Amino acid sequence: MTGSTDGRAASSSNCWKIIHIPDKPPIPPDNQPTTIVHAAAIEPQHANTIVRKLNQIAPLENLRHVKRVHKRCLDEGKIQLFVVLCMAPENDGKCNHMPEEVLELVTLYQLSTFITKVCTYAASTKEEWEEQCKLWPTSFHPPTYNIDGITGFSEEDSQSIFRFMKFAVSLAKSGVGSVVNAAVIVDPSTMQVIASSRDQVLSCNTPIKKNNGETCCSRLSEATQYDTIETEDRQSLLSKCSFNDAKLTYNCVSCLNPWSWLEQKLHTGSGSWHPLQHAAIVAIENSAARERDLFPMNGHIADEFVHEDYKALSPTGSPWKRQKINLANVKDDENMNCQKNGLRSDSSRPYLCTGYDIYLVWEPCTMCAMALVHQRIRRIFYAFPNSSDGALGSVHRLQGEKSLNHHYAVFRVLIPVDVLKSEALFAITAENG
Amino acid sequence: MVETQEDTICFMNLAIEQARLALDSLEVPVGCVIVEDHTVIASGRNRTTETRNATRHAEMEAIDMLLEHWQKDGLSREEVASKFSRCTLYVTCEPCIMCAAALSIIGIKEVYYGCANDKFGGCGSILSLHMNSSEKLTSGVSKKKGFKCTRGVMASEAIDLLRSFYEQGNPNAGRVNTVFTLIQPQSLTESQCKGSKQFDTSCRGAVMKNVTCLRSY
Ligand SMILES: [Zn+2]
Ligand SMILES: [Zn+2]
């Protein structure tokens, strides 16, 4: 399943779209709750003085996202400034009451006041923010800081996101007919596929993984070692899932139906199966296996590793600790060899999946979504929602659970459903870096 | 046969034994045992540091151990499901959201845990996945399974272990938030709670505020 992006496939991406799935359930952008305020037009030369005074006598305590001053361009290039004076009491039909000090200011500058609406809550998406500014300008701080993409993707970024999603979909379909979920973990800084997997709940070929780190010490020859789908796997998967010949069913997608592992028909009696080996869980283990191989642990590093966990999460965490670890790794022969083989372009040891993205065909179930929190994934891209057990907005919304110690950004890649049927569209796969 | 209070304490002691093994290996000390017909059939401890896989919690280790054994013995999926439905888990700390979901998926019968996990607990603290049962909705969607859950069993012992881990490992321990809470033993499914069972009386009513942790175990 290797090939390259040809013109036809590239043009088929034109209708694809990436949307951010925010931390809280979205409100229709044009239907956001509003608050009534007193406002007035002001002369530009008085603006600084008036705003400074107002910030003292009538601070907008619960409306910090609302900009105090609204600049409007009039005809002939003239500019008119408006200012929010204070909140207007909601229960009063006339809304005439203003604090004494504000009234004094109004009299002093001979302001003619009016009532207007501003949005009550800060925008959580760009769409909400754009709609808010039609009423009165607000400031917009993307809810998850320092994560690329929340305010939009460049054309180049979008194309690589589509490319990896296509790889995930082709993996999901690689069982020839029986579609399952698939996961692809990517290092976006190098565009390298770190690990990938299909669901293995019903797979007969992959043995239950060894938990023992020592068993995975074979020298890494190529990155695809950590992609669990292999040619013979694909052949044998043909008969493993019950599926309807005439029409495509999604019964084998483990995250859509985690409790169905018992009900699925298994055609062959031999081989292993595992109710918890959803694609994301297996991909996480594959990426961990890769890390164990590239950076074998010794006592000294083990110690550092524990500390690193605190550092990574501590607000006072400083880069020196990471550099120290890098030095330790440079001395490491195994690591040096791997670098000579060109497997890693930098010497920094990964910490779990920090900084990595994961592509999933379906929105992950609660178990998988929490596993991705534990493994510190940075961004999740999924194509289809999961109304039965999806944990990124459908049933739960883990990216919005404040108590969790890590938060990823979540994006849905809108793609036509028939890509799961159409063979032609997925004649391509992602190329590694 | 009904499990007695002594049985419960005994099995939780074995779970704490597992947590100690984790502590000796510089892992966050959380341990568990799985019991079928008054016999311990699996144990697990946290291995996230060793495996570089932050999902290798004690519960996942124990579940995988059972699946491996049962499949080696040639048990069918039906037989495995039926066995899980007779199993009770004893774990020193509240199962996280991931583990609680996993326990629901395999269809475990019952869970006893020690201290609560205020940051990512899935059995009452953040989500209540043990009450995750549903009727069969539409065709093609299987029934979700809940499980009986009792918390606060030997919670102070579980917390002591966690505290000793964080105090030895982290010089800034005093400055971070409380994560694990010591709680009074109580059943989490009110409807299934027949009278209040009392466990380790030494920990009743106490709430720890100084136990510190920043990492997921
Ligand atoms: Zn899943
Ligand atoms: Zn867990």
One-character DSSP codes across A235-302: HHHTTTS---SSS---TT-GGG-GGGTTTS--S-S-S---TT--HHHHHHHHHHHHHHHHS---HHHH
Report the DSSP pairing between strands B148-151 and B186-187. antiparallel
Range A116-141 burial, b when 16+ CB lie within 10 A, else e: bebbebbbbbebbbebbbeebbbebe
Residue of B nearest to A367 (CA): B98
Q: Which of B59, B61, B110, B157 is catalytic?
A: B59
Task: Give the Cα separation of B57 and B48 in Å (integer).
Answer: 7
Q: To the nearest whole angstrom, how far is the Cα of B115 from the nearest Cα of chain A?
A: 17
Mean pLDDT for A192-218 is 60
**Residue B143 with chain A: CB contacts under 8 Å:** 259
Q: Report which of A224, A217, A358 is spatially closest to residue A281, judged by C-alpha positions.
A: A358
Please, which pLDDT band fits residue A13 given cuts at 50, 70 and 90?
Answer: low
Is the predicted pLDDT of residue A216 greater than 60, yes or no? no
Task: Give the Cα separation of A193 and B191 in Å (integer).
Answer: 49
Query: Which of A288, A316, A396 is the closest to B51 by Cβ?
Result: A288
Q: To the nearest whole angstrom, how far is the Cα of A291 from the nearest Cα of chain B?
A: 7
Q: What is the pTM of this model?
A: 0.69
Mind spelling out the 3-state secondary structure of B42-102? Answer: EEEECCHHHHCCCCCCHHHHHHHHHHHHHHHCCCCHHHHHHHHCCEEEEEEECCEHHHHHH
What is the dihedral angle through the alpha carbons of A181, A187, A191, A197, rounded to the nearest 10 degrees?
-20
Q: Which run of H or of E encompasses B106?
A: helix B97-106
Report the DSSP pairing between strands A409-414 and B110-117. unpaired
Query: Which of B55, B63, B126 is the closest to A371 by Cβ?
Result: B55
Question: With an 8 Å Cβ cutoff, are B141 and A257 in contact?
Answer: yes
Q: Which ligand is nearest to the CA of B91?
A: 2
Instruction: State the residue for tokens 């304490």.
Output: B9
* pLDDT tens per residue across span A230-284: 433 433 333 333 333 334 568 889 999 899 888 776 655 556 789 999 999 999 9
- Amino acid A219: pLDDT: 30
Mutate to test the interface with A, among B23, B26, B51 (most CBs of A within 10 A): B51
Task: Give the Cα separation of A182 and A280 in Å (integer).
Answer: 7
Question: With an 8 Å Cβ cutoff, are A398 and B77 in contact?
Answer: no
Q: Which ligand is nearest to the CA of A253?
A: 1
User: From the CA of A169, how far away is ligand 2's center (Å)?
Assistant: 29
Number of H helices, E strands in chain B: 6, 7
Residue of B nearest to A315 (CA): B176
User: From the CA of A342, how far away is ligand 1's center (Å)?
Assistant: 33
Task: Give the Cα separation of A206 and A202 in Å (integer).
Answer: 10
Residue B4 DSSP symbol: P
- Amino acid B195: pLDDT: 32
Q: To the nearest whole angstrom, how far is the Cα of A375 from the nearest Cα of chain B?
A: 5
Dihedral sign from CA coordinates of B8, B13, B14, B19: positive
* pLDDT tens per residue across span A370-402: 999 999 999 999 999 999 999 999 999 999 998
Instruction: State the residue for tokens 């918390």.
Output: B151
- Amino acid A315: pLDDT: 28
Length of chain A: 433
* pLDDT tens per residue across span B153-202: 999 999 999 998 887 764 444 433 445 666 666 666 543 333 333 343 33
Mutate to test the interface with A, among B97, B103, B172 (most CBs of A within 10 A): B97
Instruction: State the residue for tokens 């907008």.
Output: A60
- Give the residue, B61 or A10, on which the prediction is more confident: B61
Residues 6+ apart with CB under 8 A from A237: A174, A175, A176, A178, A198, A203, A205
Task: Give the Cα separation of A69 and A82 in Å (integer).
Answer: 6
* pLDDT tens per residue across span A139-167: 887 655 557 787 788 889 999 999 999 99
Question: With an 8 Å Cβ cutoff, are A352 and B52 in contact?
Answer: yes
User: From the CA of A325, how far away is ligand 2's center (Å)?
Assistant: 27
Mean pLDDT for A294-303 is 58
Whether residue B157 lies in the annotated active site:
no
Is the predicted pLDDT of residue A211 greater than 70, yes or no? no
Question: With an 8 Å Cβ cutoff, are A259 and B137 in contact?
Answer: no
- Amino acid A143: pLDDT: 58
Task: Give the Cα separation of B98 and A198 in Å (integer).
Answer: 19
CA atoms within 13 A on the CB side of B69: 11
Amino acid at the residue A353? C
Residue A204 near residue A236 (C-beta atoms within 8 A):
yes
Give the ipTM. Answer: 0.84
Is the predicted pLDDT of residue A365 greater than 80, yes or no? yes
- Amino acid A49: pLDDT: 92
Residue A23 DSSP symbol: S
**Residue A251 with chain B: CB contacts under 8 Å:** 140
Residue of B nearest to A349 (CA): B52
- Amino acid A174: pLDDT: 84
Regions of chain B short of the pLDDT cut 50 = 170-178, 190-217
Q: To the nearest whole angstrom, how far is the Cα of B21 from the nearest Cα of chain A?
A: 15
Q: Report which of B29, B43, B66 is spatially closest to residue B162, judged by C-alpha positions.
A: B29
User: From the CA of B94, how far away is ligand 2's center (Å)?
Assistant: 8
> DSSP states of A287-299 as a string?
HHHHHHHHS---H
Query: Which of A284, A307, A366 is the closest to B97 by Cβ?
Result: A366
Collapsing DSSP to helix, strand or coil, A103 comes out as helix
Please, which pLDDT band fits residue A204 given cuts at 50, 70 and 90?
Answer: very low
- Amino acid A230: pLDDT: 40
Question: With an 8 Å Cβ cutoff, are B51 and A284 in contact?
Answer: no
Residue A382 near residue A363 (C-beta atoms within 8 A):
yes
Q: Which ligand is nearest to the CA of A388?
A: 1
Task: Give the Cα separation of B49 and B28 in Å (integer).
Answer: 9
Please, which pLDDT band fits residue A337 given cuts at 50, 70 and 90?
Answer: very low
Q: Report which of B63, B99, B87 is spatially closest to residue B11, judged by C-alpha positions.
A: B87
Mean pLDDT for A99-114 is 91
Residue A58 near residue A97 (C-beta atoms within 8 A):
no
Question: With an 8 Å Cβ cutoff, are A288 and B67 in contact?
Answer: no
Q: To the nearest whole angstrom, how far is the Cα of B145 from the nearest Cα of chain A?
A: 8
Report the DSSP pairing between strands B148-151 and B110-117. parallel
- Amino acid B140: pLDDT: 58
- Amino acid A97: pLDDT: 79
**Residue A269 with chain B: CB contacts under 8 Å:** 76
Mean pLDDT for A65-89 is 87
Is the predicted pLDDT of residue A177 greater than 70, yes or no? no
